[in-house]
Amino acid sequence: DVVDSFFLHYRLQGITASAESMSGRKTLKRSVGLLIARRHDIAHDGDYNGHGRIKVIREDLIKKRIKDLELLVSCMDQIICNRIR
């Protein structure tokens, strides 16, 4: 995981798994990963499917995944702050 490899420099091994555990959500990392994958599709492929049609965006699902991202970042922030103290 790119995020985890970045935080290894700060001796925070497995920070995303720790943040997921702290959140109490077993699928938090997966949800955020799907959001990042969708962003990648939009940025690099124009968000088209295999038939050349634009993929449907489910607003409710994207809103949920953005909240999941916010939760993951918040938990990571708590971990970092607790390590500094």
Residue 1 has pLDDT above 90, yes or no: no
pLDDT band at 50; cut points 50, 70, 90: confident
Contact yes or no for 71/34 (Cβ under 8 A):
no
Q: Structure pTM?
A: 0.88
- pLDDT score, position 23: 98
Residues 4-37: tens digit of each pLDDT: 999 998 889 999 999 999 999 999 999 999 999 9
| Pure H helices in 2-85 | 2-8, 15-23, 28-45, 59-84
pLDDT band at 82; cut points 50, 70, 90: very high
